[in-house]
Structure 1
């Protein structure tokens, strides 16, 4: 039995805590900037923290074996420093997307993640290891209400329904047909609930690599839309993008000062570049989790709407 600190109160953090509470005997605490009476009412211990106060952070992390972060930016950097000072053994940074190795150096979608990984590398000498959980695109991007309905990606500009790739309700899709190498653009996807199950199951493994890769499905973006068309029984209005048309869309978004549109185009470009794709996994084979298939998930979340 170990002590785990789950940092943040978004939907993914809550899924992780739920699995810790129901599937393990591990002790856990939730670190939050603000009071969270709803989480406390569920019997979970919530510690309010000040990320500008290293002493407070280190005190709250005393005795913690593993930190699982779902926050970003300067707050996560402060958390990394405090975890190392508190002699935390393992740190899971807030990644939960495509392989970090595929991100360009000046990635506009970075949100401080590169800086956190660099800091983790620098602090390895203190004895704190870190592992990234790579899961591809979250299914919740295609949910009623988008990821925001699960309190995920609220600041991402792709958090709302229809912001990424396809709008199931309006039967529309914007997809890059070909990747930068001329192949069909392919993505890996996993539900947030399954990501949480994988993370918690991994806690019992004897050793962790630098990166755990897991997924529910791997398919071309056209097949993603085809699944949705099959469920809805109607063809979608599809706008197929080339690399050139995506660049034109980006230029327009910048010209009119539409930052949200610019970020959404960047996500389509990242998709075309294969940044949410990976061929092999290494965590699926080590745990008994059987992730939900995309079609089953899509039917389940839309059936009552």
Structure 2
């Protein structure tokens, strides 16, 4: 049995905390900036923290074996420093997306992730190891209300329904240009609930690599839209983008100062460049988690709505 700190109170953090509480004998605490009476009512230990107070952070992390972070920016950097000082054994940074190795320099979508990885490397000499859980795109991007409905990606400019690739309710899709091989871009996808199940199952593995790759599905973007069309029973209005049309859209968004639109366009470019794709997994094979298919998930979450 180990003690885990789940950091943050968004939807993914709640999935992970609930899974630890109901499926394991591990101890856990939830670290939150604000009081969370709803989580406390579940019987969870919620510790309010101030990320600008390093001594407080170290105190709250005393005795913790594994930190699972779902926060970003300077708060996560402070968390990393405090975890190393508190002799935490392993740290899971807030990645949960495409492979970090595919992230370019000066990436608009970075959101402090590169700095966090660099800081984690710097602290390895203290004995704290870290592991990234790479899961591709979250199914929740296509949910009613988007990721925001699950309290995920609230500050991402791409958390609302229809912000990425496909608007299921309005039967529309924006498909990026073909990849360098002349084929539709391929993406890996996993539901947030299944990501949490994989993370929880990994807690009992004897060793962790630098990166765990897991997924529910791997398919090209045309297949994603095709599944949605099949469920809806009608064709979608599909806007196909070329490399130049997306670059024009990016230029326009910057010219008018529309940061949200700029972010959405960048996600389509990143999709076309294969940044959410990985051919092989190394965690699916090690645990008994059977992830939900995208078709089954999409049908389930939209069946009460459509």
1:137 is matched with which residue?
Answer: 137
| Distance apart, 1:142 and its partner CA | 0.1
The corresponding residue for 2:25 is 25
Task: Quote the residue 1:47 is aligned against.
Answer: 47
Task: Give the equivalent residue in structure 1 for 2:169.
Answer: 169
The separation in 2 between residues aligned to 1:287 and 1:38, in whole angstroms, is 31
Indicate the SS of the match to 1:228: helix
Match of 2:113 in 1: 113
User: Does structure 1 residue 238 correspond to structure 2 residue 271?
Assistant: no
Say which is worse superposed, 244-253 or 222-231, in terms of deviation. Answer: 244-253
Residue of structure 1 in register with 2:152 after alignment: 152
Segments of 5+ residues of structure 1 without an aligned counterpart are: none
The residue aligned with 1:72 is: 72
Instruction: Look up the match of 2:299.
Output: 299
Instruction: Spell out the pairing of 1:178-193 with structure 2 (5 A cutoff).
Output: 178-193=178-193
Counterpart for residue 81 of structure 1: 81
Aligned-pair CA distance for 1:176: 1.0
Whole-angstrom CA distance in 2 between matches of 1:256 and 1:216:
38
Partner of residue 255, structure 1: 255
1:201 aligns with 2:178: no
Name the CA distance, whole Å, in 1 between partners of 2:33 and 2:21.
Answer: 21
Deviating above 4 A after TM superposition, structure 1's stretches of 4 or more consecutive aligned residues are: none
Taking the aligned partners of 1:284 and 1:212, their CA distance within structure 2 comes to 9
Counterpart CA distance in 2 for 1:12 and 1:20 is 12
- How far has the Cα of 1:255 moved from its partner? 1.4
Task: Report the counterpart of residue 122 of structure 2 in structure 1.
Answer: 122
Cα offset, 1:182, TM superposition: 3.1
Q: Counterpart of 1:123 in 2: which secondary structure?
A: helix
CA RMSD, 1 decimal: 0.6
> Offset at 1:205?
0.1
The answer to whether the 8 A contact 2:134-2:213 is kept is: yes
Q: Confirm or deny: 8 A CA contact 1:214 1:283 kept in the other structure.
A: yes
Secondary structure of the equivalent of 2:188?
Answer: strand
- 8 A Cα contact 1:177 1:221, kept in partner: no
Give the Cα–Cα distance (whole angstroms) in 2 for the partners of residues 82 and 123 of structure 1.
10
Matched, 1:279 2:279: yes
CA–CA separation in structure 1 for the residues paired with 2:244 and 2:276: 20
Contact 1:180 1:243 in 2 (8 A): no
Residue aligning to 1:35: 35
User: What is the CA–CA distance in structure 1 between the aligned matches of 2:165 and 2:180, rounded to whole Å?
Assistant: 17
Shift of 1:181: 4.7
